[in-house]
Amino acid sequence: MKKFVSGIIVGVMLFAGASAFAAPTSLIGQKVQGLFTVEKNGKKVADAVVINGSAYAPVRAVSDAAGVTLSLEGKKIIMEEKIPLTSESSPTATATPTTAEGLSAERELLVTAIDKKQAHVEEYRNHQVDFYTTLIKENPNSKSIPDWQAAEKKGNTRLEEIKAELTSLQQQLSDLDAQIAEVQK
């Protein structure tokens, strides 16, 4: 994953060349030099336009393809790696300890993962889903409303996925607590 993101960054830097340092402050009125397709594993991710030697692609599409989450904080777009919910990455997926101390350490890791996931749910709701809802409400005559509605729907779907991951982690914690109670008998 990191290699893919690094590859994108290096590619953009090579593609943009020295013009990145001399880029105009506004793209308004600039000539589009070309339209390119952004692909991952042979599948189209998005279209990118090239203006003054720099490629511009939709951040949402690129972040989804790269497997990272996107959030907004003021005028900052923040990309973070998704925490996959697979048996390999689950805090309890390692060889489960059988001692009370080992189980307690495992529990601490799981509680930390739950806290991070809960924060992620709130952040995603506030900065992703609510962002598009606000855009739609504040710009009822915009031609971009269908795009915003699609992004809002996609955001709601992703939010439900994150909530499901949180529920799974909470179930793992409940199971671990039962295991700790059993060991302490």
DSSP string, the chain: -HHHHHHHHHHHHHHHGGGGTT--S--TTPPEEEEEEEEETTEEEEEEEEETTEEE--HHHHHHHHTEEEEEETTEEEEEE----STTTSTT-S----SHHHHHHHHHHHHHHHHHHHHHHHHHIIIIIHHHHHHHHH-TT-TTHHHHHHHHHHHHHHHHHHHHHHHHHHHHHHHHHHHHHHHT-
66-115 pLDDT, tens digit per residue, is: 877 777 777 788 887 765 544 444 444 445 556 777 788 888 989 998 99
Q: What is the pTM of this model?
A: 0.48
Residue 138 pLDDT more than 50? yes
Residue 99's pLDDT is 75
**Res. 46 pLDDT band, cuts 50 70 90:** confident
State the average pLDDT over residues 162-176. Answer: 91
State the average pLDDT over residues 60-64. Answer: 80
Q: What percent of the chain has pLDDT over 90?
A: 8
Residue 4's pLDDT is 59
